[in-house]
Homo-oligomer: A and B are copies of this chain.
């Protein structure tokens, strides 16, 4: 008995899943994570990557199968290994189905307070992020058991630790936010919370992401020759993360424009966000607004006024960096945010959520 938490990762084959498995393998509070694969995935495509997981004698962790091919997923395998926390790095529809199944099988209890004993799940997909039916419609989910799905939708906690730490700490099901959404909600939350934004004049986020955000599937769009030396906008007025942002920030769809772009770099997101203020402000006032909101928050770094973050600063870390610049008229504000889409935008944030769920330091295993 190690006394350490037993975790499993289903789908450690995509970029986020691999990153997650790598972090969990070194997290001091955990046994080796159990790596699982769906039947649709071949054994070869998972686990067993010596260059990713390091030499097999290196960390002396017990349990798990960190250095071997992933096992096929089944609920009994989970139970057999005593898994307490399951990370889903699966497609949206698969996550939607699996969590509902965990509930109907009685493996998971959804209560309003702290779950006792049952399995807990952190889902990295978009399956459980949206409360409004209209918003969720863009995913086209078909729930086998609509009642369970509805209850789960209600109880799922949107896992943005800087905003929802209390509900995350007692959640049974955490919906890990989208990478773009994280890069937009974190810079806007302090301003909206302070009530200084003229929302009706329109908020615009012009966001740019590295290619790993587009997933590991080889497509014409992700071919090196298509991306290198290139840059393009996509999904204008129609990206799925828009709904997350509207819900979390309580904005109306006419108040917000989100335009994603594809950067010729492997990882990293930069969002340039345009906001009109209700009244003339000074840079100091804006600075204070950000500082006050994020005081004591380990994974958000607020830069001094007119000093802007760059993607290079936050890549390979779990930080979300924030900087801003105010026009001379004191009414037009540009906020720039940067993060690593695979860390603070996915796997790192999932681990941060786990740390909150088990009462550990938010930074544990993420340095």
**Which residues 230-274 of A have a CB within 8 angstroms of B?**
230-234, 236-237, 254, 257, 259, 261, 263-268, 270, 272, 274
Answer yes or no: A316 CB below 8 A from chain B CBs: yes
Q: Does the CB pair A231–B254 fall under 8 Å?
A: no
Answer yes or no: A329 CB below 8 A from chain B CBs: yes
Complex: chain B residue closest to A51, CB-CB: B313
Q: Does the CB pair B311–A230 fall under 8 Å?
A: yes
Which of B236, B257, B306, B315 touches A308 (beta carbons < 8 Å)? B236
Q: Mark A204-245, 1 if CB is under 8 A from B, else 0.
A: 101010011000101110111111111111101100000000
Q: Does the CB pair A229–B229 fall under 8 Å?
A: yes
Q: Does the CB pair B336–A233 fall under 8 Å?
A: yes
Answer yes or no: A155 CB below 8 A from chain B CBs: no
Instruction: Say yes or no: A51-B224 contact (C-beta < 8 A), given A229-B266, A230-B312, A259-B272.
Output: no
Q: Does the CB pair B211–A218 fall under 8 Å?
A: no
**Which residues 304-355 of A have a CB within 8 angstroms of B?**
306, 308-317, 319, 321, 325, 327-329, 332, 334, 336
Nearest chain B CB to A79's CB is how many angstroms away? 32
Nearest chain B CB to A61's CB is how many angstroms away? 12
Complex: chain B residue closest to A321, CB-CB: B51
Q: Does the CB pair B224–A223 fall under 8 Å?
A: yes
How many monomers of this chain does the complex have? 4
Q: Does the CB pair A272–B228 fall under 8 Å?
A: no
Q: Does the CB pair A237–B51 fall under 8 Å?
A: no
Which of B201, B232, B314 touches A310 (beta carbons < 8 Å)? B232
Which of B218, B236, B308, B313 touches A325 (beta carbons < 8 Å)? B236
Q: Does the CB pair A237–B334 fall under 8 Å?
A: yes
Which of B55, B206, B298 touches A272 (beta carbons < 8 Å)? B206
What size tier do the contact residues of chain A reach?
35 or more
Q: Residues of B contacting A310 with CB < 8 Å? A: 230-232
Nearest chain B CB to A250's CB is how many angstroms away? 19
Answer yes or no: A193 CB below 8 A from chain B CBs: no
Answer yes or no: A147 CB below 8 A from chain B CBs: no
Q: Residues of B contacting A50 with CB < 8 Å? A: 301, 303
Distance between Cα atoms of A334 and B233 in the complex (Å): 10
Nearest chain B CB to A53's CB is how many angstroms away? 11
Instruction: Say yes or no: A332-B230 contact (C-beta < 8 A), given A212-B225, A218-B223, A219-B218.
Output: no
Q: Residues of B contacting A58 with CB < 8 Å? A: 298, 363, 367
Answer yes or no: A26 CB below 8 A from chain B CBs: yes
> A52, A58, A212, A261 — which one has the most chain B CB atoms within 10 A of its CB?
A261
Distance between Cα atoms of A55 and B336 in the complex (Å): 19
Q: Residues of B contacting A315 with CB < 8 Å? A: 229
* 9 interchain residue pairs of minimum CB distance: A51-B313, A236-B325, A218-B218, A232-B310, A206-B206, A230-B312, A224-B227, A211-B224, A231-B311
Can you sample 29 A-B contacts with CB below 8 Å?
A52-B313, A54-B317, A55-B298, A58-B363, A58-B367, A59-B367, A204-B274, A206-B206, A211-B223, A216-B225, A222-B223, A223-B223, A223-B224, A224-B224, A224-B226, A224-B228, A226-B312, A228-B265, A229-B312, A229-B315, A230-B310, A230-B311, A232-B311, A233-B270, A237-B325, A259-B334, A263-B263, A263-B264, A274-B274
Q: 16 other contacts beyond A58-B298, A225-B266, with CB at 8 A cut-off?
A: A26-B367, A50-B303, A206-B274, A208-B261, A216-B220, A223-B224, A229-B311, A231-B268, A232-B312, A233-B270, A233-B334, A234-B308, A254-B332, A257-B274, A261-B270, A263-B264
